[in-house]
Amino acid sequence: LYYSFQLAELQEFPSTLTNHATYSVLSLLQVSYHSEWSLNGTLINLGLDRRRRLSGGNLIISSLDRYQDVGMYQCMAYNTVGAILSRRASLQFAYLDHFKVHTRSAVSVREGQGVVLLCGTPTSSGDLTYAWVFNEYPYYVQQDNRRFVSQQTGNLYISKVESSDVGNYTCAVVNSVTKGKVQSSPTSLILRTDGVMGEYEPKIEVNFPDNVPAAKGSTVTLECFALGNPVPEITWRRANGVPFPSKVKMKYSNAVLEIPSFQQDDTGGYECVAENKMGKNTATGRLAFYAKPQWIQTMKDTALAIEERLYWECRANGKPKPSYTWLKNGQQLLSEDRIRVEDGVLSVSVLTLSDAGMYQCVAENKHGVIYFAAELMVLASPPDFTGNVLRALLKAKAGTTVTLECKPQAYPIASILWKKGNLPIHTNDRSAPNRNGTLRLANVSKSDAGSYTCFARNRFGMSSTTGRLLVTDPTRIVQGPVDMEIIVGESIVLPCQVTSDPVLDVSFSWAFNGQLIARGDGHFELVGGRAAGDLMIRNIQLYHAGKYICVVDTDVESLSAVAVLIVKGSPSPPDSVTVEEVTDSTAQLAWSPGRDNGSPITNYLVQTRTPFTVGWQRVNTVPEIIDGNTLTATVVDLNAWVEYEFRVLAKNSVGVGEPSPVSVKTRTEDAVPDAAPGDVGGGGGSRSELVITWEPVPEELQNGESFGYIIAFRAFGEVSWTHVATSAPGASRYVYRNDSIAPFSPFHVKVGTYNSKGQGPFSPVVTIYSAEIEPSGMPAGVWARSVSASEIEVNWQALSFTPERVLGYEVAYWEDDTKPETMGKVRVPWNQTSVTVSGLAGHTQYFLTVSAFNTAGTGPFLPAINVTTKKPPPAQPPLNVEWTLIGSQLSLYWEPVVAMESESEVTGYQLSYRRQRHKEVNTLITTNSTAELTLPEDEDDYYIIRIQIVSEGGLGPPSDPIRRREQTALGSSWSLYTLA
């Protein structure tokens, strides 16, 4: 193993190293360098020492020797610039020798007496820790208020011996660095038999020095322990009476006082008090603060001209106050001739080239030493204008002051001479060459234009630089922007136009509220030519309000013009809408105003939303019109026991702004219902029932909890009402059952409301009838006939009398008694005694019955009759339809259709025709497969014609359409369609 430590000033260097490993020190520089090492101030001759060698500046020591290699090491690094010393580092070796092997004498004490068992630590180096083994390992002495192991002396202290303490004691020592451990020979503790020790006052055996130095930030430990009978109690206090800070810790029954992170405030006197009932004893000492040096001011690399003066100062803090030394290239500097060294100040007058090199300031007190290095470069050269020549062409506005700088690089400083053309420039009221080389021309005019040359000279040589001055006419802004007011969304142009000298380059830029307007912003565009830099602002928004500055830059000057743009928009949303007071129909609102956005707020609008509304709705308020200076309003005409949300909108001359944030949901107070159910009616139902129906009251009109309905009814002629309540707020029907109710009896009915606050209004009284019974009579004379393949005509005789009400007749029909799902029904009014049942299957037997019905159901019926529908018409339509048109006479021809065995015989053909623009349909029946039609001429219209088969089963499908054809007859043009 080996350790590498940086000795350059970039990092701290460890002051002490202890290890049995190989040791290496690394010096870090930024350029190529060489290094050499010293031990205890003596240069190490690496050529004569095989155990030591250099590797990249590192000193590597093999086979470390405890006696030869211990000491203080320091590295010097040097190159062509100079040399510097590293900080010093101490190399020490940690070790722990064995105890001398001998038998220790037994210690005999009386019970109750105090005793000290000595450890007798062997020779060592490095921090040690102590413990005592009682009788045999691993049983260690447990420290308490009676027993204490000092980490300063290693001794074991027992303030009052008890019989349980009898035994053998062995001191165990551990080196914290090497982790080596040794044990002493055992010491026997026995009790004397000549009596028990009486009580006595405390005697402090473990104490701390009168003066204890403590480093800043370190952990300070003070020990205090006393013998005595009874066992003394240990307490601590500061001499100045100031309480201990919370960081201070007491350990081992107050035998150890620990102060972590020691600071200046912790210095002073400390007292340990040991006390029992026989008396007390006190030990005192003082903690002194010390700190290693730390830099608070350092020098930096410096380049000075030859013959100039060097002044460097470095300062460090520390306690005690550090002393300073200065090194040049690793050698100490002393005051002599031009050099003065005093504390942390180094000054050198009239620098020479030999003064260049590496310098180090060293601050040191007895607790540490620190180094800081800097390079001094001494410069000597003739004047040089490279990189600092006069501008080839300098433009200036007439009437201004022009400054021409002549700053050559010269060591020592050069003397300066100015010429205009070939003539030297002398100081007068308008031209003033300064000692630092600057030429100042005040209130220049056209006559000042020309060529200017600066000459620089020192003892190493001379150089010059030349430039030309051009004097121009002033630039003026002839039209600048003006203050304006504008509405959001509009567009404007802010003008900025100038007149200027033609030789000048003119550029325009605009600033908005102190920020330069960047090109590419979608709202801004610079328009105009060379003499104009107008700014167009499109689709102006509120945030475009503010100060606009047009900046005109030329080669010689900069001008600006300012305008303030006020942007008006609809108001910003009001804020903090609160509901301050609520009744069953009103709510008191308050809000904070939003920004008016350039136009005063004229009035506010209030909107509300409930779980029962779709979106937001305008509400009535008091005052009805809320002006812009009013920030409260009472919302009226609200429903009781409904949860409301409110928002407020502001309006100004521009328009209505965005709504405010929504208020907290607020429920109005409950109240007696003020709405009655609507559409009260009823009737029907089963025998002995009175069915009452109504339209439920919407939830938002129920006005409170425990909402329900009160149903009141009475028979015709009765005075008192029967009342029934239902607590279901969504109920819409009530059925009253009583065997005494006569069928179809009239009743007066009304329905009211109630909730937890009381009873609400009733609906208007209506008349409804109780349930009726089915008709008892049955129609006679029922007969039926098949009309076509899909229709049957049914006839019957009307009932002459029945005690029950008859609303009409029901015809039921079905194909098969075993298939009830084939049943169909047709109902007709009471004054009708026949009906045609359609939509039937062809050539199929149907069973039919007829019965009377009312709201209670259908009555009895006679046994079913049966009828078979006719065969269906042929499914084949007329084919190959042809036609001729002569004048208005149309002749049609088609192939005859032959019916199949399962189809009805063809008895003829039906032609249906109409004009496309008319609804009237004409028909013609023919038994042949030809037909003649007379069709009036109409050049702007055409005919639609259908041809279908006629049979007893009905009409067959129509023929295919004949596509449009044009035929001229007698000079006329006709159009014809035949369509399905």
Kindly tell me if the per-residue pLDDT of 801 is higher than 90: no
- Same domain? 353 vs 281: no
Residue 707 in any domain: the answer is yes
- Same domain? 216 vs 262: yes
Taking the CA atoms of 653, 655, 658 and 659 in sequence, report the sign of the dihedral they define. Answer: positive
pLDDT band at 22 (very low <50, low <70, confident <90, very high): very low
Of 262, 292, 322, which one is at a domain's C-terminal end? 292
The pLDDT score that the predictor gives to residue 530 is 65
The pLDDT score that the predictor gives to residue 961 is 67
Residue 581 in any domain: the answer is yes
What percent of the chain lies above the pLDDT cut of 70?
Answer: 93
- Same domain? 232 vs 285: yes
The domain containing residue 252 runs over which residues? 200-292
- Same domain? 555 vs 603: no
- Per-residue pLDDT tens digits for 337-359: 899 999 899 999 999 999 999 99
Kindly tell me if the per-residue pLDDT of 322 is higher than 90: yes
- Same domain? 755 vs 803: no
pLDDT band at 603 (very low <50, low <70, confident <90, very high): very high
- Same domain? 397 vs 445: yes
Lowest mean pLDDT among 105-109, 513-517, 973-977: 973-977
CA 498/CA 434 separation, integer angstroms: 36
3-state secondary structure of 544: helix
Give the residue-averaged pLDDT of 211-226.
Answer: 92
- Per-residue pLDDT tens digits for 60-94: 998 888 888 899 999 999 888 889 999 888 898 89
Report angle CA 383, 389, 395 to the nearest 5 degrees: 145
Range of 24-33, 514-523, 574-583 with top mean pLDDT: 574-583
- Per-residue pLDDT tens digits for 163-183: 999 999 999 999 999 899 999
pLDDT band at 41 (very low <50, low <70, confident <90, very high): confident
- Same domain? 401 vs 347: no
Residue 976 in any domain: the answer is no
The pLDDT score that the predictor gives to residue 713 is 96
Residue 968 in any domain: the answer is no
Residue 819 in any domain: the answer is yes
pLDDT band at 360 (very low <50, low <70, confident <90, very high): very high
Residue 911 in any domain: the answer is no
Mean pLDDT of the chain: 88
Q: Which one, of 276, 285, 193, lies nearest residue 227 by Cα?
A: 276
Kindly tell me if the per-residue pLDDT of 34 is higher than 90: no
The pLDDT score that the predictor gives to residue 20 is 33
The CA-atom distances, in angstroms, between 678 and each of 34, 255, 639 are 111, 95, 18
Phi and psi at 544, nearest 5°, equal: -85, 0
Q: How many domains does the chain have?
A: 9
- Same domain? 189 vs 103: yes
SS3 of the chain: helix, strand, coil, percent, to 5: 0, 50, 45
Residue 950 in any domain: the answer is no
- Per-residue pLDDT tens digits for 752-787: 999 999 999 999 999 999 999 999 999 999 999 999
pLDDT band at 557 (very low <50, low <70, confident <90, very high): confident
pLDDT band at 820 (very low <50, low <70, confident <90, very high): low
Kindly tell me if the per-residue pLDDT of 593 is higher than 90: yes
pLDDT band at 10 (very low <50, low <70, confident <90, very high): very low
Kindly tell me if the per-residue pLDDT of 799 is higher than 50: yes
- Same domain? 757 vs 728: yes
Give the residue-averaged pLDDT of 256-282.
Answer: 94
Kindly tell me if the per-residue pLDDT of 56 is higher than 90: no
The pLDDT score that the predictor gives to residue 310 is 95
Six-digit token string for 407: 């700053």
Q: One-letter amino acid identity for 137?
A: Y
Separation of first and last alpha carbons in the chain:
110
Q: One-letter amino acid identity for 25?
A: V
- Same domain? 354 vs 286: no
Write the CATH number for 103: 2.60.40.10
Evaluate whether 703 touches 676 at the Cβ level (below 8 Å).
no
Residue 764's CB: how many other CB atoms inside 10 A? 9
Give the residue-averaged pLDDT of 873-889.
Answer: 85
The pLDDT score that the predictor gives to residue 387 is 85
The CA-atom distances, in angstroms, between 853 and each of 220, 270, 772, 810, 850 are 114, 119, 11, 7, 10
CA 465/CA 242 separation, integer angstroms: 75
pLDDT band at 304 (very low <50, low <70, confident <90, very high): very high
Of 846, 868, 890, which one is at a domain's C-terminal end? 868
Task: Look up the pTM and report it.
Answer: 0.46
pLDDT band at 938 (very low <50, low <70, confident <90, very high): low
| Eight-state DSSP code of residue 338 | T
Cβ within 8 Å of residue 869, ≥6 positions away: 786, 788, 789, 790, 791, 792, 840, 841, 842, 843, 844, 846
pLDDT band at 3 (very low <50, low <70, confident <90, very high): very low
The pLDDT score that the predictor gives to residue 964 is 42
Q: Quick one: residue 569, left, alpha or beta (phi over 0 = left, psi -120 to 50 = alpha)?
A: beta
Q: Quick one: residue 489, left, alpha or beta (phi over 0 = left, psi -120 to 50 = alpha)?
A: left
CA 976/CA 675 separation, integer angstroms: 67
- Same domain? 228 vs 320: no
The pLDDT score that the predictor gives to residue 972 is 37
Range of 27-41, 627-641, 860-874, 909-923 with top mean pLDDT: 627-641
- Same domain? 500 vs 408: no
Q: What is the CA radius of gyration of the chain?
A: 61
Kindly tell me if the per-residue pLDDT of 29 is higher than 60: no
Q: One-letter amino acid identity for 936?
A: P
The pLDDT score that the predictor gives to residue 13 is 32
- Per-residue pLDDT tens digits for 449-473: 999 999 999 889 999 999 999 999 9
Kindly tell me if the per-residue pLDDT of 751 is higher than 60: yes
Q: Which residue has the higher pLDDT, 261 or 964?
A: 261
String of DSSP letters for 584-602 = SS-EEEEEE----TTS-EE
Kindly tell me if the per-residue pLDDT of 976 is higher than 70: no
Give the residue-averaged pLDDT of 191-220.
Answer: 91
The pLDDT score that the predictor gives to residue 934 is 82
Of 824, 843, 868, which one is at a domain's C-terminal end? 868
Give the residue-averaged pLDDT of 588-609.
Answer: 95
Residue 972 in any domain: the answer is no
